[in-house]
Amino acid sequence: MAALVTPFRSGKVDDRALAGLLEFHLKARTDVIIPCGTTGESATLSHEEHRRVMSFVVDYVAGRVPVICGAGSNNTAEALGLVQHAKKIKADGVLVVTPYYNKPTQEGLYRHFEFIARKADIPIVLYNVPSRTGVSLSPQTVARLAKLSNVVAIKEASGNLDQVDQILELCGITVISGDDSLTLPMMSIGARGVISVAANVVPHRVREMVHLALEGNWEEARQLHRELYPLSKVLFIETNPIPVKTALGLMKKIKPEFRLPLCEMRAENQKKLEDVLKKLGVIS
């Protein structure tokens, strides 16, 4: 599953580049496309832009692959509004991050997701990324939420394999890796795929690794994991999505433009990124 970037040009969403990225993923047979998540710079999209990008992607893809729209907020009512928009445009599901900054308790987290799940009849993927939000869903809270019929999966980006084991011990929810470098280790203990940043750059190779693991072909999957590991690490050498948008700029797929407070990469880090991309054969 590709965590899609949002291309900008002169301060606005670049529809032409966005369409090009969607074509790139469709040709690479990406299984699921996910706009408006962390990698899509949702934090600096206006509500109007957020809804428009969601609609653009769903309309363009036109059912050829599933689209799961990022629809989170630290304001429960705002998150519900985004989720309801995703339902209205017939997205296949929503990715809902834990509320950031206000640091709710586990009971508050449960009530946030329960409120959304009760009010919106659409498949929900929980998103746990404590390094970005300052709060983590406990395995026990995940197990409570898994009892809600439309809570179908969790994107687990805590970087903690013990957390994954505990979730799978407590409930049957589908666990999806949220860390490219940990996808194969997580799948070895029961995760079923990845919502990937690296898939923006090499979607076909990320897809192949995941499908090899799902088929039980661990030796070939490990070989691809080793091949992709340097990319998985360098894409987080600075704050995501700075490196991945820089990579797509080097690949001539987008203009590598950011919105403050994000900015361009430091020159020494861009050189490291370029070296990895050259070794992968992505740029010459």
Beta strands (DSSP E) in the chain are 2-3, 8-9, 12-13, 33-34, 68-70, 93-97, 124-128, 151-156, 174-177
Which pair of structure tokens corresponds to residue 230? 């340097």
Cβ atoms of 25 and 57 within 8 Å: the answer is: no
Cβ atoms of 35 and 69 within 8 Å: the answer is: yes
Catalytic member of 27, 100, 155, 272: 155
Alpha-helical runs (H) found in 193-241? 203-214, 218-234
Q: Find where tokens 């020159």 sit.
A: 267
Q: Is 128 helix (H, G, I), strand (E, B) or coil?
A: strand
Chain-centre distance for alpha carbon 232: 14
Which pair of structure tokens corresponds to residue 221? 């999957």
Q: In this structure, are strands 8-9 and 12-13 parallel, antiparallel, or unpaired?
A: antiparallel
Catalytic member of 110, 127, 245, 253: 127
For the question of residue 127 being annotated catalytic, the response is yes
Q: What's the rounded Cα separation, in Å, for the pair 106 and 271? A: 42
For the question of residue 100 being annotated catalytic, the response is no
Task: Show Cβ contacts of residue 226 under 8 Å, excluding neighbours closer than 6 positions.
Answer: none
Catalytic residues: 127, 155
